[in-house]
Amino acid sequence: MKVSCIREDLLNCIQIVQKAVPGRSTIPILMGILVETVGGNTLKLTGTDLKLGIESTLPCKVINDGSIVLPSHIFGELVRKLPDEEIIFTVEENNKILFECGKSRFNLASSPAEDYPSMPVIKEENFIHMSQNLFRNMIRQTNFAVSEDETKNVLTGQLLQIRGDSIRLVALDGFRIALVDGKGKNDKQNEIDVIIPGKTLNEFSKILSSRDSDEFSISLTENQILFDLGSTRVISRLIDGEYLKYEKVLPEDFKTTVIIDKNSLINSIDRAYLLAREEKGNNLIKMNIDGNNLVITSNSEAGNVYEQIEIEKEGDDQEIAFNSRYIMDALRSIDTEKVIMKFINNISPCIIKPFGLENQLNMVLPVMIN
Amino acid sequence: MKVSCIREDLLNCIQIVQKAVPGRSTIPILMGILVETVGGNTLKLTGTDLKLGIESTLPCKVINDGSIVLPSHIFGELVRKLPDEEIIFTVEENNKILFECGKSRFNLASSPAEDYPSMPVIKEENFIHMSQNLFRNMIRQTNFAVSEDETKNVLTGQLLQIRGDSIRLVALDGFRIALVDGKGKNDKQNEIDVIIPGKTLNEFSKILSSRDSDEFSISLTENQILFDLGSTRVISRLIDGEYLKYEKVLPEDFKTTVIIDKNSLINSIDRAYLLAREEKGNNLIKMNIDGNNLVITSNSEAGNVYEQIEIEKEGDDQEIAFNSRYIMDALRSIDTEKVIMKFINNISPCIIKPFGLENQLNMVLPVMIN
């Protein structure tokens, strides 16, 4: 194998597939990146932890075809530190690989490609098409609510719910729900409910473009999902199981609706949290909705805080307590200047939504206090 | 005690004195900041770990005089997160302190000022005056060579050597020496040799101005040094003992002088280090000076690297090995585009200096190899 390519293309490609390479593994070869020529002057890089796989291609000049597995971390660092010139790499005997770039010459130990696990073959139907930036934002607006508790199987994933062209992402961890709706183009106009691992979506969001016009496509098998970005393909296993019927727990019959400036609320909770967190495991803040004011208080041994914010209110006054982190996560996922909060009473979930938008909803359970 | 002040002034002052506040201490009150009115509408903040003390003042409106000790971390975070408005703080009963700022009200637990250790009284002679920015750079250009080994008493400090208006800072750790010369104004025109803890100088450099025109003054007692920046005063203990006679180990009679582009050398060593570090405790790089080329090589199980750089050379060829970190630290402390390196042989120290400047010198011992 002998290939030359542009440093920047290679670096970009390495950084994409590294999202799937585990930092540690009991299977050492998984900490490598598979590099192979795939005909037509194209080089393909692959990284996988066996659950998530990412392949990405770049243009190159193929002098001799071949394939090799390089240690991911050193390979990435090396290419990052090389001068911005053409890189030539040659596989020599004993799986040694020689890099030449400017006046630098590197020999790296590598492993034979035969030892690398093969990626699952997915029949590419690519029947759903949507904007990369839209999906990136949808992941950002929900991913924080995925359960970190590995024993909660389906809750470590996110529900992708497709109804014709409507695409919904849902995450919930037993204390809160985050959901967001978007539009795509579904060639089959069918109904789909699959659970994608939260970590996959988090890593995937990092390689999605922030340009609305860049699109990607989705293919599905019974237990795999394929995201096709053109030169990059992401394949993830799906989580087996039944997702919670989240629609049934979304509350109705609210007694109080509040419109509030999002940043004022974030800043006030941020200060209240400063004292709340002084006691371990205590993120508790109290909200008192009284007339046209929201008063936020928190207490700890270190002291106490009292924050007052003007609000627009319809309905009853309320006194209710929350884990401040859950409220903050919801507020930070919202992009509008104002938010709407809806309450029933101090033991029922509250709803937080962007003001003037109907495509996003957060539900947070209160903390019961005396 | 009741005082009002501008948030930004207070925050700035807190961040200065926090440089002396220990993150942890067996004496809890040292993790606090002493806040006291000192007459004439001035508020003084003090932080100390008993070795290093920093006092800083800010203008305020004093409604009632008084003093109190506030927990450093929460106090700093709180003021950082408050809106940019006037802050009023009032000491209430039981050492509770009330902050009012905009629509925020905070109560913080605090400690009585009587429990706070008093700072040593130093007769301010302020007989040495120099540019803050100059001294800041002098610290940056030497501090990295201070020994981190706490058992090496004097080597954990830096020698401040004053001869009339000439001011020299020296650091050495047994493997390398860094020294730099600057000019000040010495009212006494005397000779001084004192050892200042390296950590003090490092923290001190962070509060020095980067404007050449800002000056500061130095006062000395037998075991304390006072840096006077005007509204901020830094007091540190000195290290007792005799510093090494570093001048005696500076080599002469060089066989080889090399002029080299600093950034090319830094980039090449950086890449060589990438492989060298793969073996624990191995930072070894080899330099081969051959004709008008410097070749850098390093080896490890992961592979090997060969880097070639053009140089201007006078004298013999050389083959010599170094701990790459020592060479990198020296190179990064130099501000000129080119550096001069001088060698005797592969067991004698090498000298690294900025090209065209005579005020800075680095000496690095080689590593002996077969």
pLDDT in tens, A149-189: 989 999 999 999 999 999 999 999 999 999 999 999 999 99
Alpha-carbon span A64 to A55, nearest angstrom: 21
Mean pLDDT in residue range B108-127: 89
Best to test chain B binding among A266, A306, A311 (most B CBs inside 10 Å): A306
* Location of each CATH 3.10.150.10 domain in chain B: 2-115, 128-247, 250-364
pLDDT score of B349:
96
Q: How far apart are the CA of A106 and the nearest CA of chain B, in angstroms?
A: 4
Chain B residue with minimum CA distance to A309: B103
For chain A, give the secondary structure using H, E and C.
Answer: CEEEEEHHHHHHHHHHHHHHCCCCCCCHHHHEEEEEECCCCEEEEEEECCCEEEEEEEECEEEECCEEEEEHHHHHHHHHHCCCCEEEEEECHHHEEEEEECCEEEEEECEEHHHCCCCCCCCCCCCEEEEHHHHHHHHHCCHHHCCCCCCCHHHHEEEEEEECCEEEEEEECCCEEEEEEEECEECCCCEEEEEEEHHHHHHHHHHCCCCCCCEEEEEECCCEEEEECCCEEEEEECCCCCCCCHHHHCCCCCCEEEEEEHHHHHHHHHHHHHHHCCCCCCCEEEEEEECCEEEEEEEECCEEEEEEEECEEEECCEEEEEEHHHHHHHHHCCCCCEEEEEECCCCCCEEEEECCCCCEEEEECCECCC
B309 contacts chain A (CB < 8 A): yes
Cβ-based contacts of A108 with chain B (< 8 Å): 302-303
Select the residue from A68, A69, A74 to test the B interface by mutation, using most B Cβ atoms within 10 A: A74
What is the rounded CA–CA span in Å between residue B157 and residue B50? Answer: 17
Any B CB within 8 A of A28 CB: no
* Cβ separation B109–A303 shorter than 8 A: yes
- The token duo for B197 is 């803890």
Residue of A72, A73, A78 to mutate when probing chain B, most B C-beta within 10 A? A78
Contacts of B121 (CB under 8 A, 6+ apart): none
List of chain A residues whose C-beta atoms are within 8 Å of the C-beta of residue B267: 81, 83
Q: Does A303 touch chain B (CB under 8 A)?
A: yes
CATH topology assigned to domain A2-115: DNA Polymerase III; Chain A, domain 2 (3.10.150)
Bridge-partner residues for B299, per DSSP? B304
Q: Please name the residue that has the structure tokens 């201490």.
A: B25
Please tell me which of A298-302, B36-40, B358-362 the model is most confident about, judged by mean pLDDT: B358-362
Looking at residue B285, its pLDDT comes to 93
Q: Percent of chain A having pLDDT more than 70?
A: 99
The CA dihedral of B278, B279, B281, B282, to the nearest 10 degrees, is -90
ipTM over 0.95: no
Residue from the list A106, A271, A305 with its beta carbon closest to the beta carbon of B303: A106
Pairwise CB contact (< 8 Å): B270 & A77: no
Q: Provide the pLDDT for residue B370.
A: 65
Least CA distance to B97: which residue of chain A? A303
For residue A120, count other CB atoms closer than 10 A to its CB: 15
Dig out the tokens for A238 from the structure. Answer: 């799906």
Does residue B227 have a pLDDT over 90? yes
B198-210 tens-digit pLDDT: 999 999 999 999 9
Can you give the pLDDT at residue B120? 82
Cβ–Cβ gap B271/A78 under 8 Å: yes
Cα–Cα dist A316/B274, whole Å: 64
CATH class given for the domain over B250-364: alpha beta
* Residue in A with minimal Cα distance to B83: A267
For residue A291, give both structure tokens: 């007339």
- Whether residue B20 contacts residue B31, with contact meaning beta carbons closer than 8 Å, is answered with no
In CATH, what class is A128-247? alpha beta
Please report, in tens digits, the pLDDT of each residue of chain A (370 residues total): 999 999 999 999 999 999 999 999 999 999 999 999 998 899 999 999 999 999 999 999 999 999 999 999 999 999 999 999 999 999 988 888 999 999 999 999 999 999 999 888 888 888 999 999 999 999 999 999 999 998 999 999 999 999 999 999 999 999 999 999 999 999 999 999 999 999 999 999 999 999 989 999 999 998 999 999 999 999 999 999 999 999 999 999 999 999 999 999 999 999 998 887 777 667 899 999 999 999 999 988 888 999 999 999 999 999 999 999 999 999 999 999 999 999 999 999 999 999 999 999 999 999 987 6
The rounded percent of chain B whose pLDDT value lies above 90 is 87
Select the residue of A78, A107, A274 nearest B81 (Cβ to Cβ). A274
Dihedral over Cα of A59, A62, A65, A70: its sign: negative
Residues in chain B: 370
Q: Alpha-carbon distance A191 to A171, whole Å?
A: 19
- The alpha-carbon gap from A305 to the nearest alpha carbon of chain B, in Å, equals 4
Nearest to A81 among B270, B304, B309 (CB): B270
Contact B78 A274 (CB under 8 A): yes
In A, residues 34-93, which contact B (CB 8 Å cutoff)? Answer: 71, 74, 77-78, 81-83
CA quadruple B200, B205, B207, B208: dihedral sign? positive
Triad A140, A146, A151: Cα angle to 5°: 155
Tell me which chain A residues have a C-beta less than 8 angstroms from the C-beta of B87.
none
B270 reaches A (C-beta below 8 A): yes
A107 in contact with B, Cβ within 8 Å: yes
CA–CA dist A100, A97 (Å, integer): 10
CA distance A255 to A147: 29
Residue A303: what pLDDT?
87
Residue A125 C-alpha, separation from nearest chain B C-alpha, in angstroms: 42
- B299-311: average pLDDT: 91
d(Cα A292, Cα A289) in Å, to the nearest integer? 8
Of the candidates A105, A271, A303, the beta carbon closest to that of B107 is on A303
What is the distance between the alpha carbons of residues A7 and A60, in angstroms, rounded to a whole number? 10
B301 interface with A at CB cutoff 8 Å: yes
Mean pLDDT score, B47-67: 95
Q: Which of B74, B81, B305 sits opposite A270 (nearest CB)?
A: B81
If one counts every other C-beta atom within 10 angstroms of the C-beta of residue B125, the result is 15
Nearest partner of B113 among B17, B31, B33, judged by Cα: B33
Select from B38, B56, B37 the least CA-distant residue to B46: B56
Q: CB B306 to CB A106 under 8 A?
A: yes
Produce one character per residue of A271-291: b if its CB has 16 or more CB atoms within 10 Å, e if not.
Answer: bbbbbbbbeeebbbbbbbbee
Query: CA–CA separation, B4 vs B37, rounded Å?
Result: 11
> Which chain B residue has its CA at the smallest distance from A103's CA?
B308
Predicted local distance difference test score (pLDDT) of residue B280: 67
Taking every pair of Cα atoms in chain A, the longest distance, rounded to a whole number of angstroms, is 79
pLDDT score recorded for residue A6: 96
User: What pLDDT, on a 0 to 100 scale, did the predictor assign at position B97?
Assistant: 93
pLDDT category of residue B89 using cuts at 50, 70 and 90 = very high
Whole-number pLDDT of residue B31: 96
Chain B residues touching A81 at Cβ < 8 A? 267, 270-271, 274
Comparing alpha-carbon positions, the chain A residue that sits nearest to B75 is A274
**Residues from chain B contacting residue A267 (CB–CB below 8 Å):** 81, 83
**Nearest CB partner across the interface for A109, out of B83, B109, B303:** B303
Distance between CA atoms of residues B255 and A341, nearest Å: 78
Cβ–Cβ contact B103 with A under 8 A: yes
Q: Which residue has the tokens 């006291």?
A: B36
- A271·B104 Cβ contact <8 A: yes
